[in-house]
Structure 1
Amino acid sequence: MHLSYYWYEAARIMTAPARVVADMAKHSLQNPANPLAYAPYARSLAAACEMFERATRRYAKPAFGFTGTIVDGATVPVSERVVWDRPFCRVITFDRGFVRGPAEVQPKLLIVAPMSGHYATLLRGTVEAMLPSHQVFITDWADARMVPLGAGRFDLDTYIDYLIDIFRELGPDLHVMAVCQPAVPVLAAIAVMEAQGYSPVPVSMTLMGGPIDTRRSPTAVNCLAQERGTAWFERHCISTVPAGYPGAWRSVYPGFFQLSGFMAMNLDRHVDAHSDMFDHLVKGDGDSAEKHRDFYDEYLAVMDLTAEFYLQTVKTVFVDHALPMGTMVHRGARIDLGAIRTCAILAVEGENDDISGVGQTLAALELTPNLPVERKAYHLQTGVGHYGVFNGSRYRTIIAPRIAAFIREIQGLRETQAFSAIAHKPEAPVN
């Protein structure tokens, strides 16, 4: 049994007293009633205490925190509501506090958040940009360490089952946006639905920076998986949840492993960011320090993945390239992307993406030969990396409007074809 999780927990528990002391010292040194707070070294010492406390804490799951949005120039309140719930996932919708007439109903958009270590709140900016013009839903995946063993396994087949159930639950006229990791299971789930005649099938899917075919423009992440193989990841990356959590004894890929990998890819940038924050704290630049806190409160909050899901994903997506090779299966049946004939596809990629290289998501358009060309679209965003595909200024000003336009276009095409079918329907014979 891999003991990394136990060493991690032991280190966290042993540093807890020092973390409490550091936090108390910081507040004491920042207290105006303390004469020492005015000494030249007080800010440096308080900054050091805060940096230590933040470096040794476990970050809790953040909240979306939406209170309002702007629709047609008017500010309306926003509230969250759970519309679908299972042990490993729930679906949240964001209700906007206004009543719209039937002719003004906005498109339903399900954002499938990545199940790759971070919580769905990492897509807060993604949701925020779509709220004014869409009824937005999002998958809120559960932290595996919080799911009891009695809830059963969660693997790639279960993931696809969940998606199919969610698509059907949310009903007709649904549009889907898959961000990064879920691009593969979303594409697979819709292929299964179309092949087996499930109804209703989503009207469109937007695949953003997804690893559909990792043989194209392979990145460091892709190459590592290919070189190591599944057995290496099973030996070195799988651990057991310690006692004290609802999911105790469940085999997982710990979130702190994934976070370590993310940090290592851009270590210099993270070191510089923390050095800058220390300087901001010493200088009393509260706004810059708060921006740092907001980002890292989100970035450092990670969740565990079930071992079976993680290992199946590594093997299926990154080692075997099963979906583009035509060998991926769901519940023992081969997934045929040729079955996709109605659900439109928009592939979105970032020019500087170092997680899913250029061309990997575009492959979805080429792997669906029976989908009409007017139901396919592609957008390559210049000047952005992986994160910029679904967050940041270019996402808000260029990518999100492009997605909204695609949804309107496909919705219009669907309505036109439906009207045409009714108009050309032969009349029943008169007796």
Structure 2
Amino acid sequence: MLYSIYEFNRIAMTPWRAAANATRSSLRAPWNPMGDTVAGRTMAAAAELFESVTRRYGKPDWMLDKTEINGKCVGVTDTVVWSKPWCNLVHFERDHDALVAARKSKTADPKVLFVAPMSGHYATLLRGTVEAFLPDHEVYITDWVDASMVPIHEGRFDLDDYAAYVREMITLLGPEVHVVAVCQPGPPTLGAIALMAEDKDPARPASMTFMGSPIDTRLSPTVPNKLAEEKPFDWFANNLIHTVPAPHPGAFRRVYPGFLQLAGFMNMNLDRHVDAHWNFFTHLVEGDGDSAEKHRTFYDEYLAVMDLSEEFYLQTITDVFQEHKLAMGTQEHHGRRVDPAAIEDIALLTVEGENDDISGIGQTQAAHTLCANLPESLRQDWVQPEVGHYGVFNGRRFNEHIAPKMKAFMREKGRDALQAR
């Protein structure tokens, strides 16, 4: 019922948004003298603010059509190279001829697979992460599909299916791939790799990096961790799971709606978001186009959310946040126990942010404890000062400090891991 009410409200606001857009357009038209007055700019700013906070934001574009290598522009095309109902594997394919010309050689770059979160936002949230690796890596990323877009006849999708998808994609890319799990996918990705290690799978990756991941949420618990433990399982099942209404392709599927996840994110830092929108309004009134554009760019991404399947969301709540199964050694994958101690020759890097309020310090580092049989020579840990959760994988400090450390680790420790096999 809540989902239907949300959709009805969105549809009911359509004429008001149209009116706001018309008002803004007319006031900013070059022929309208009122647009140059304080009153005109204020009305136009109010109209744009109203439209922006009542709009549904669709899946953003990647907007990564080029990269720069040795001062030369190299074209980039995002291509789907593997696909299933719940995920597409996207390869950011660089123009071969331009790449060879920029490098003056045909040297192959290492492959990196970014396992994007399936936690409400689209994979495009990692646009900056991908962009930082494009000049010197063959970049792939998991592009998870909005549950409201998956027809109900495609069946269920849970945490075990997620791990199975990750294993299939690693197998496709081969043993020299470097796997990077950002936030939520840490536990299922570690589980998938542990199974590959136990099977002595020849396609097991050269390295694995976990960034701000809830490997063991008992350590430095944050507000979301405490909420997940304080509320009983039935509370999540009864209050946060709703049915997708028609005419969505996934109509009648039970999901955790993206708009509820977004509400949770916003409430964690409500004052900050209110201030940001007030500043956006004042920037528009003052004619500060650059600052206003930065706001649009951030919130066009941040406000674009997707639904999660009921079984995936609830299993994540129980296995990761309430029963800590991977950390406790009780995690199973389709009835088979998952044992990270089986990992002996896959290099491990953990990255955390000093001010992370989603995954506290120590939660990601727990991967080192679980991978008990991994030699010290194949381990590395880094805590980045002065960054929060999103700063772990995006922004200036990521580009200047974290990304270079990741690349050096992959190049050196990944090579050592492959030679040890």
TM-score between the two structures when normalised by the length of structure 2 = 0.97
Deviations 1:3-42 (A, max 9, x none): 1101101110111111111111110111111243244311
Could you tell me how far apart the structure 2 residues matched to 1:70 and 1:98 are?
13
Residue identity matched to 1:53: E
Q: Is 2:115 the partner of 1:115?
A: no
Could you tell me how far apart the structure 2 residues matched to 1:291 and 1:40 are?
22
- Helix, strand or coil at the partner of 2:295: helix
Q: Is 2:365 the partner of 1:362?
A: yes
* Residue equivalent to 1:230: 233
- How far off is 1:416 after superposition? 4.4
- Residues 71-110 of structure 1 mapped to structure 2, 5 A cutoff: 71-99=69-97, 100=100, 104-110=107-113
TM-score between the two structures when normalised by the length of structure 1 = 0.94
Q: Is 2:140 the partner of 1:142?
A: no
- How far off is 1:373 after superposition? 1.3
Residue identity matched to 2:41: R
- How far off is 1:71 after superposition? 1.8
Alignment match of 1:393 (pick from 370, 392, 396): 396
Could you tell me how far apart the structure 2 residues matched to 1:72 and 1:139 are?
28
Could you tell me how far apart the structure 2 residues matched to 1:73 and 1:411 are?
28
Could you tell me how far apart the structure 2 residues matched to 1:243 and 1:292 are?
33
Structure 1 stretch 195-204 or stretch 302-311: which is displaced more? 195-204
- How far off is 1:196 after superposition? 2.4
Paired residues of 1:208 and 1:361 also in contact (CA < 8 A): yes
Could you tell me how far apart the structure 2 residues matched to 1:364 and 1:102 are?
38
Could you tell me how far apart the structure 2 residues matched to 1:290 and 1:74 are?
27
Could you tell me how far apart the structure 2 residues matched to 1:103 and 1:278 are?
50
* Residue equivalent to 1:161: 164
Alignment match of 2:255 (pick from 252, 257, 271): 252
- Residues 28-107 of structure 1 mapped to structure 2, 5 A cutoff: 28-99=26-97, 100=100, 104-107=107-110
Gaps of 5+ in 2: none
Cα RMSD between the aligned structures? Answer: 1.3
Paired residues of 1:83 and 1:90 also in contact (CA < 8 A): yes
Q: Is 2:260 the partner of 1:262?
A: no
Paired residues of 1:329 and 1:335 also in contact (CA < 8 A): yes
Structure 1 stretch 170-179 or stretch 97-106: which is displaced more? 97-106
- Residues 141-220 of structure 1 mapped to structure 2, 5 A cutoff: 141-220=144-223
- Helix, strand or coil at the partner of 1:201: coil
Could you tell me how far apart the structure 1 residues matched to 2:418 and 2:186 are?
26
Paired residues of 1:229 and 1:315 also in contact (CA < 8 A): no
Paired residues of 1:219 and 1:356 also in contact (CA < 8 A): yes
Gaps of 5+ in 1: 419-431
Q: Which 4+ runs in 1 deviate beyond 6 A? A: none
Residue identity matched to 2:325: A
- How far off is 1:79 after superposition? 1.1
- How far off is 1:86 after superposition? 0.5
Alignment match of 2:246 (pick from 222, 238, 243): 243
Could you tell me how far apart the structure 2 residues matched to 1:256 and 1:113 are?
19
- How far off is 1:337 after superposition? 1.2
Counting matched residue pairs gives: 416
- Helix, strand or coil at the partner of 2:232: helix
Paired residues of 2:4 and 2:245 also in contact (CA < 8 A): yes
- How far off is 1:102 after superposition? 8.3
Paired residues of 1:68 and 1:76 also in contact (CA < 8 A): yes
Residue identity matched to 1:149: I
- Residues 313-352 of structure 1 mapped to structure 2, 5 A cutoff: 313-352=316-355
Paired residues of 2:346 and 2:414 also in contact (CA < 8 A): no
* Residue equivalent to 1:382: 385
**Cα distance change of structure 1 residues 210 and 415 upon mapping to structure 2, 3 Å threshold:** closer
Could you tell me how far apart the structure 1 residues matched to 2:190 and 2:148 are?
28
Structure 1 stretch 65-74 or stretch 258-267: which is displaced more? 65-74
- How far off is 1:229 after superposition? 2.5
- Helix, strand or coil at the partner of 1:41: helix
Could you tell me how far apart the structure 2 residues matched to 1:34 and 1:310 are?
51
Alignment match of 1:221 (pick from 224, 235, 248): 224
Residue identity matched to 2:374: L
Paired residues of 2:171 and 2:204 also in contact (CA < 8 A): yes
- Helix, strand or coil at the partner of 2:38: coil
Could you tell me how far apart the structure 2 residues matched to 1:104 and 1:396 are?
24
- Helix, strand or coil at the partner of 1:150: helix
- How far off is 1:335 after superposition? 0.7
What is the percent sequence identity of the aligned residues?
A: 55
